[in-house]
Amino acid sequence: MSYNLLKGKRGIIFGALDANSIAWKTAERVHEEGGSFVLTNAPIAMRMGQINELAEKTGSEIIPADATSLEDLENLVTKAQEILGGKLDFVLHSIGMSVNVRKGRAYTDQKYDWTQKGTDVSAMSFHKVMQTLYKQDAMNEWGSIVALTYMAAQRVFPDYNDMADNKAYLESIARSFGYFYGKEKNVRVNTISQSPTPTTAGQGVKGFDGFIAYAERMSPLGNATAQDCADYTISLFSDLTKRVTMQNLYNDGGFSNTGVSNEVMEAFMKAEGHE
């Protein structure tokens, strides 16, 4: 169902890889709600994914950019405004990567140049994106910037590894930059802390199916899907959330406020031999 919430709005969507990715689903929803956008991803991710199909479907152009490169980002922001015909109203940062996770290094045995690479891609890139937008004065007043995060930024999920630190840093950048962007340009910056979601990126984390099953049993409303996240992001891009900024917003079926659920207790008692 479309409400025309983003009619006439323009933006950039980072990180659409394939039909499972949250950025992909968000792009589809933005298109349905009347928004136009440029798609971008790292050249290597573009070779792996099916972004051309999404561009065709939504009538969008693709500008390859490495989000850790200021030169690439400056080019992206300049070109996006040219293509879309004016300043931007929304930006989605849906990027995360840990080399330590990919290569199976434990949290207690990190290779620090890998750690740094992951921090740059997953968190520092968010600062670089916003600083580029800010310096070019590329956002319209009451524009909205959203990044995707996960609750491992607040609580320990052992196998989430150094991505937890990256997400904590990402959320801090959203608050800090959100202050300056709000004061000076009336632009809002928020993060969405999403349920574990079976995306191509998420599946790289060890024991990920366990994360998903546990969260499903813990959450009163069940896990939020990638589609749910896209819908929530649309609400944050719309004019209905004009005064929401510097927030970390949980889209997790209630998981973050649940101590324990009956289902988890039952499974635990069963495992202990108590019926």
pLDDT per position as a tens digit, 169-219 = 999 999 999 999 999 999 999 999 999 999 877 777 778 888 899 999 999
Tokens 């409400």 correspond to: 3
The CA angle 225-228-231, to the nearest 5 degrees, is 155
Provide the CB-side half-sphere exposure for 68 (13 A, CA). 14
Phi and psi at residue 269, to the nearest 5°? -65, -40
Question: Residue 24, SS3?
Answer: helix
Q: Are 105 and 155 in contact (CB under 8 A)?
A: no
The reported pTM is: 0.97
Question: What's the mean pLDDT when you consider all of the chain?
Answer: 95
| Domain topology for 10-271 | Rossmann fold (3.40.50)
Question: Residue 242, SS3?
Answer: coil
Q: Please measure the distance between the N-terminal and C-terminal CA atoms of the chain and give it in whole angstroms.
A: 45
Whole-angstrom distance, CA of residue 124 vs CA of residue 87:
23
For range 150-177, the mean pLDDT: 97
Residue 22 annotated as part of some ligand binding site: yes
pLDDT tier for residue 44 given thresholds of 50, 70 and 90: confident
The catalytic residue among 3, 150, 169, 179 is 150
Q: Closest by alpha carbon to 233, among 51, 67, 27, 59?
A: 27
Domain ranges of the chain: 10-271
Q: How does pLDDT run across 65-109, given as a tens digit for each residue? A: 999 999 999 999 999 999 999 999 999 999 999 999 999 999 999
Whole-angstrom distance, CA of residue 30 vs CA of residue 11:
9
For range 256-270, the mean pLDDT: 94
> How would you class 65 by CB atoms within 10 Å of its CB: exposed for 0-12, middle for 13-18, buried for 19 or more?
buried
Question: Is residue 165 scored above 90 in pLDDT?
Answer: yes
The CA angle 235-239-244, to the nearest 5 degrees, is 70
Whole-angstrom distance, CA of residue 66 vs CA of residue 236:
25
- One-letter amino acid for residue 269 of the chain: M
For range 99-128, the mean pLDDT: 97
Residue 103 annotated as part of some ligand binding site: no
Q: How far is CA 56 from CA 51, 53, 198, in A?
A: 9, 5, 24
Residue 21 annotated as part of some ligand binding site: yes
The catalytic residue among 107, 112, 134, 160 is 160
* 160 carries an active-site annotation: yes
Residue 95 annotated as part of some ligand binding site: yes
Whole-angstrom distance, CA of residue 273 vs CA of residue 202:
33
Q: How does pLDDT run across 233-244, given as a tens digit for each residue? A: 999 999 999 999
Q: How far is CA 33 from CA 6, 91, 233, 261, in A?
A: 5, 15, 12, 37
Residues above pLDDT 70, as percent of the chain: 100
* 150 carries an active-site annotation: yes
Q: How does pLDDT run across 1-27, given as a tens digit for each residue? A: 899 999 999 999 999 999 999 999 999
Residues above pLDDT 90, as percent of the chain: 88
Whole-angstrom distance, CA of residue 42 vs CA of residue 96:
12
**What pLDDT score does 275 carry?**
64
Residue 219 annotated as part of some ligand binding site: no
